[in-house]
Amino acid sequence: MENSHVVGAKLLAELLPFLERYPFVGLVTGAGMLLRMELVTDKASRTPLPRRVTHRLFDALVQAGLMTMAYSPHFRLQPALTLDEATAMNGVQILRDVFDVMAAEKWHEQ
């Protein structure tokens, strides 16, 4: 249980800056190893990203080596409670890399 609190808090701290970094991230929240992110077309209206975009995101994340539940605009990051910090940070970096491509190519506007 201690590991889930420590690593989960680190994950959340790493994911919160996504709110400012990406125009399509409307919410990052969570506790322990149960984290949630909402992907939006517009932060003011919080209109969810279309599923065709989130399916493309899911495919890109899987190809990069990260399995998430990102096939929906309201997705969970729910790793094993035993996940170590190095593996968690690797997952965050994969998310960051794919989100950088998504932002550069403006998937959220398509």
> What are the sequence ranges of the domains in the chain?
2-103
| pLDDT of 68 above 90 | no
pLDDT of residue 26: 96
Please state the pTM of the whole predicted model. 0.91
> What confidence category does residue 109 fall into, taking pLDDT thresholds of 50, 70 and 90?
confident
> What confidence category does residue 72 fall into, taking pLDDT thresholds of 50, 70 and 90?
confident
Q: Which of 74, 90, 75 lies closest to 10, judged by CA?
A: 90
Beta carbons within 10 angstroms of residue 18's beta carbon? 18
Interval 73-82: pLDDT, tens: 998 888 888 9
pLDDT of residue 18: 98
Angle at 99 between CA 56 and CA 85, to 5 degrees: 115
The encoded tokens of residue 27 equal 């919410």
Output the average pLDDT for the chain: 93
Superfamily of domain 2-103: Aspartate Aminotransferase, domain 1 (3.90.1150.10)
pLDDT of residue 83: 93
pLDDT of residue 62: 94
> What confidence category does residue 29 fall into, taking pLDDT thresholds of 50, 70 and 90?
very high
